[in-house]
């Protein structure tokens, strides 16, 4: 059992050295390796006490990275964090903090303008449909997607 414990501990260190992970992600990986539940519980608590696993820090960093570098909307970030096993309250706090000074309409408009360049030769209805679904897939609300699409499709008419 001691051998299993040290192997599992080393595995946790190795996982965390590759990238930051949530509590659930590490537990799932340890279960896939078929470690004993008692060992998993003990090592997860140890890693949390040592600050190696911190879902709050993970949620804030993930939300910030996704919003700043990938220009993702709230809904996509929320869905991804839920899949990673982060608590809903933590997710809401992270999103509230991350998006406190962000104009989501402007952010969605920026990504839509870039995408719309590749749609220039298409019919306006096709452009509108594709842009709306693209913006929603990027994690923005349907209302925001419609507002952005109307602004861009209107701009496309004036460019011609």
Structure tokens belonging to residue 81 = 């964090």
pTM, to two decimals: 0.89
| pLDDT of res. 1 | 57
**CATH numeric code, 55-98:** 1.10.10.10
| Topology, domain 2-49 | Arc Repressor Mutant, subunit A (1.10.10)
Structure-token match 């700043």, residue found:
68
| pLDDT of res. 155 | 53
In DSSP notation, 15-71 reads: HHHHS---HHHHHHHHHHTT--HHHHHHHHHHHHHTTS--HHHHHHHHHHHHHHHS-
pLDDT along the chain (160 residues), means of 10: 86 95 97 94 96 97 96 97 98 97 95 92 91 96 95 61
| pLDDT of res. 17 | 95
| pLDDT of res. 157 | 45
Query: Please, are residues 9 and 43 in contact by the beta-carbon 8 Å criterion?
Result: yes
Q: Domain ranges in the chain?
A: 2-49, 55-98, 104-159
């Amino acid at each position: 059992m001691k051998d299993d414990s040290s192997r599992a501990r080393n595995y946790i260190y190795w996982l965390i050295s590759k990238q930051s992970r949530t509590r659930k992600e590490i537990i799932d990986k340890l279960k896939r390796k078929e470690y004993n539940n008692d060992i998993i519980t003990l090592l997860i608590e140890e890693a949390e006490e040592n600050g190696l696993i911190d879902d709050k820090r993970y949620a804030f960093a993930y939300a910030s990275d996704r919003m700043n570098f990938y220009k993702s909307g709230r809904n996509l970030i929320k869905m991804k964090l839920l899949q990673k096993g982060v608590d809903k309250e933590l997710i809401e706090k992270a999103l509230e903090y991350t998006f406190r000074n962000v104009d989501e309409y402007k952010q969605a408009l920026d990504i839509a303008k870039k995408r719309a360049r590749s749609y220039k030769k298409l019919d306006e209805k096709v452009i509108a449909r594709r842009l709306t679904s693209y913006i929603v897939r990027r994690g923005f609300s349907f209302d925001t997607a419609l507002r952005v699409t109307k602004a861009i499709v209107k701009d496309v008419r004036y460019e011609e």
